Structure 1
Amino acid sequence: MNTSAWIRQFHRWISILFTLTVIANFVAMAVRHGVPPPWITYAPLLPLALLLFTGLYLFALPYFSRDRARHGSSKRSLGDQEVSQ
């Protein structure tokens, strides 16, 4: 498995972990009728930071791929094309 596929899979699993920690936060607030313990409150921060870095990598990946650099001049957006009249 290459690096991009590994990071994509890691990002998916971390998103599940993040969702579970947020749900645990809401459950703790409902059960305790107040502020949950700090370890539950801050539990989503680590997965969130990992999601930030892996998400930024996955977002930037198409812009820095070798294929785009090799064929960059042939792929133009509609705004870059000359209009013939």
Structure 2
Amino acid sequence: MPWNKWIRQFHRWMSVLFTLSVIATFIALAQKEPVVWMSYVPLAPLALLTLTGLYLFALPYVARRQRAGANG
């Protein structure tokens, strides 16, 4: 599988993991005695989502620049 497709698939699965971790955090913090460390759990998938999202965001611009350089 090419890198771009692998990163896109990884980004999708990280978004699912992030959503589930946010839901789990809401549940944990809504308890009578909240588990405060659970509020840090969504940060790991969020960091990975940020990195892969920035890569996917920049991808079309880099490809356009490469095509323009090859034609010029």
Q: So what's the TM-score if we normalise by structure 2?
A: 0.84
For 1:37, the aligned partner's letter is V
User: RMSD of aligned C-alpha atoms?
Assistant: 1.8
Aligned residues: 69
Question: For the residues of structure 2 that align with 1:51 and 1:34, how far apart are their CA atoms?
Answer: 30
Displacement after TM superposition at 1:71 (Å): 4.1
Question: For the residues of structure 2 that align with 1:26 and 1:14, how far apart are their CA atoms?
Answer: 18
For 1:13, the aligned partner's letter is W
Alignment gaps of 5+ in structure 2 = none
Displacement after TM superposition at 1:28 (Å): 1.1
Larger helix fraction of residues: 2
Question: For the residues of structure 2 that align with 1:17 and 1:34, how far apart are their CA atoms?
Answer: 25
Displacement after TM superposition at 1:41 (Å): 1.4
For 1:35, the aligned partner's letter is P
Q: So what's the TM-score if we normalise by structure 1?
A: 0.72
Contact in 1 for aligned 2:29/2:36 (Cα 8 Å)? no
Question: For the residues of structure 2 that align with 1:21 and 1:34, how far apart are their CA atoms?
Answer: 19
For 1:5, the aligned partner's letter is K
